[in-house]
C-alpha cells in the first residue's frame, strides 16, 4: 500500500508596500494605502457625497448631464440640451457649488464645478433643475457655505489624475471606488489658501462661460 505523500505548503514571501516598488501594482489596495499615507488633508474631510435623486415631478424639465458633458472643469450645457430632453430614468440631483466627478474612465478628465454661469450660458434654462448620470460622484462641502472651487485644479492635476487612474477597478468599464476618491490627499498649502484659490477658479470659469455664451449667439 502506497503511503500518501504529505503536502508541503508553498513558500510565501511577505513584503511591505514600500518594498514592492513603484512598478509593482496591487490594485486597488496598494494605491488606496499609498494615498492615505501621503501628506495633506483627506478629500473626505472636506466633502460629502450628495446622494439625492432628482424628484419625479422635476424630471421632465431637467437638464440631463452625462459624463460626456463634464470635462476639464466645465459643464457643456449646450451639448446636454442637444442630446435629449428630460430625465427618463433615475438621476442624481446637483446644485450650484457642487463638484461632479465621473467614476467611469477618470483619465478622460470628466470633472466639473456646477457654476451658475454654466446655466446662464444658455438662455432660458437658469431655473431648470440639473440631473446627473448615476456614473457621477456629486460632492458637496462638508461645512455649510464652504466653496469647493479650489478643489477643481487639484482633482485635474497630474498627481490626483494618476492616482485615480491607478485605483480604477473593472475591465470593460473601469470605475474608481468611492474610498479611493475620498482618500486623495489635498495639499495643506492649498487648503490654507482655498478662499483665494476658489475666487480665482470661479472668476476664470465665469469668463469662460461668458465667452461661450457669445459664441453660441454668433453661431445661432
- Cα separation of 152 and 100, whole Å? 10
**Nearest alpha-carbon partner for 81 in 116, 134, 130:** 130
pLDDT above 70 (res 158): yes
| Residue 73 dihedral angles phi and psi, to the nearest 5° | 95, -10
Residue 46 has pLDDT above 60, yes or no: yes
Q: Do the Cβ atoms of 176 and 168 come closer than 8 Å? A: yes
pLDDT at res. 12: 46
Q: Half-sphere exposure of 161 toward its Cβ, with a 13 Å CA cutoff?
A: 15
CA distance 172 to 175: 10
pLDDT digits (tens, 9 = 90+) for 65-93: 999 999 999 999 989 988 876 666 789 99
How many Cα neighbours within 13 Å face the side chain of 165? 11
Q: Does residue 31 register a pLDDT over 80?
A: no
Predicted pLDDT of residue 173: 75
Domains and CATH numbers, the chain: 40-219 (3.90.220.20)
Amino acid at each position: 500500500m502506497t503511503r500518501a505523500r504529505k503536502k508541503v505548503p508553498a513558500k510565501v514571501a511577505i513584503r511591505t508596500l514600500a518594498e514592492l516598488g513603484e512598478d509593482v501594482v496591487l490594485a486597488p489596495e496598494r494605491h488606496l494605502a499609498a494615498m492615505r499615507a501621503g501628506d495633506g488633508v483627506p478629500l473626505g474631510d472636506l466633502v460629502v457625497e450628495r446622494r439625492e435623486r432628482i424628484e419625479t415631478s422635476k424630471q421632465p424639465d431637467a437638464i440631463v448631464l452625462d459624463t460626456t458633458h463634464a470635462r476639464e472643469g466645465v459643464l457643456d450645457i449646450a451639448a446636454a440640451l442637444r442630446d435629449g430632453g428630460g430625465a427618463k430614468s433615475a438621476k442624481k440631483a446637483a446644485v450650484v457649488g457642487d463638484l461632479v466627478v465621473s467614476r467611469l474612465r477618470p483619465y478622460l478628465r470628466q470633472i466639473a464645478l456646477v457654476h451658475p454661469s454654466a446655466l446662464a450660458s444658455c438662455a432660458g434654462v437658469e431655473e431648470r433643475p440639473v440631473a446627473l448620470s448615476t456614473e457621477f460622484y456629486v460632492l458637496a462641502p462638508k461645512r455649510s457655505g464652504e466653496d469647493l472651487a479650489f478643489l477643481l485644479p487639484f482633482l485635474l492635476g497630474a498627481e490626483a489624475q494618476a492616482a485615480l487612474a491607478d485605483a480604477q477597478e473593472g475591465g470593460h468599464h473601469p470605475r474608481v471606488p468611492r474610498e479611493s476618491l475620498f482618500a486623495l490627499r489635498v495639499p495643506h498649502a492649498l487648503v490654507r489658501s482655498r478662499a483665494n484659490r476658489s475666487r480665482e477658479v470661479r472668476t476664470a470659469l465665469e469668463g469662460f462661460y461668458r465667452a461661450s455664451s457669445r459664441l453660441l449667439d454668433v453661431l445661432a
